[in-house]
């Protein structure tokens, strides 16, 4: 490759020839050994790999999945089919309280993204690393809060902190004004999901799966 830079007082000719670059300045020729072009490329690739690894460790995929702009609290968060978890290795769940999303990771990348609602400021969702517990069920109702939910799965406290659907009333009917808060912090500490997402989690997420909440 040849690069030529000209100015009134300076005539510099850069010629990359493997690991040698000749500098010509006012007729004085100096030779310096530098990294080869391929070495610079290797440094760039390494830096890019480290960046991707860092973002993945934070629960963010380099290529995020597309979810609906308008939240339908009854439907799946994504237009694509739910993943078959048996086809993936090292599956785990990352809950972002900042993004209000649940990311399912498998084979080192995000395989599905769900919109959620974590705890409001007065009742925040506990942050840390947990695992799916044995307790799960089709529905519950908490008289103290006046709310319940369908399709619940415990991840802390053996029935205290859960993944579950948007709230229902005493009769088991969904509460629209609460359901429409999905995507914003609104729960009593649990992780609310759409009805379809909660049903899928109830049916397919196994005991012992790691859950990271940040």
Residues annotated as catalytic are 164, 190
Cα–Cα distances in angstroms (integers) from residue 88 to residues 77, 95, 205, in the given order = 20, 19, 13
CB-based burial label for 73 (10 Å; 0-12, 13-18, 19+):
buried
Cβ contact 95:211 at 8 Å: yes
Q: Where are the alpha helices (DSSP H) in 27-166?
A: 37-57
Cα–Cα distances in angstroms (integers) from residue 58 to residues 38, 55, 61, 163, 189, in the given order = 31, 5, 9, 21, 21
Q: Which residues lie closer than 8 Å to 11 by C-beta, 6 or more apart? A: 5, 24, 25, 26
**Residues 185, 69: Cα–Cα separation, whole Å:** 18
């Amino acid at each position: 490759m040849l690069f030529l830079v000209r100015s009134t007082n300076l005539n510099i000719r850069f010629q990359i020839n493997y690991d040698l670059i000749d500098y010509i300045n006012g007729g004085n020729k100096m030779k310096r050994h530098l990294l080869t072009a391929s070495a610079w490329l290797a440094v760039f690739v390494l830096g890019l790999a480290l960046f991707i690894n860092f973002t993945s460790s934070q629960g963010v995929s380099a290529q995020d999945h597309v979810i609906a702009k308008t939240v339908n609290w009854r439907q799946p968060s994504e237009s694509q089919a739910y993943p078959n978890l048996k086809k993936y290795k090292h599956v785990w769940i990352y809950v972002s309280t900042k993004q209000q999303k649940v990311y399912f990771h498998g084979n080192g990348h995000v395989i599905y993204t769900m919109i959620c609602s974590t705890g409001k400021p007065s009742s925040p969702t506990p942050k840390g690393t947990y695992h799916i517990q044995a307790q799960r069920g089709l529905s519950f109702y908490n008289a103290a809060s006046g709310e319940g939910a369908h399709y619940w799965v415990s991840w802390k406290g053996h029935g205290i902190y859960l993944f579950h659907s948007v709230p229902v009333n005493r009769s088991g009917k969904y509460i629209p004004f609460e359901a429409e808060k999905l995507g914003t912090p609104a729960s009593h500490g649990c992780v609310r999901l759409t009805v379809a997402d909660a049903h899928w989690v109830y049916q397919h997420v196994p005991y012992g799966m790691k859950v990271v909440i940040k």
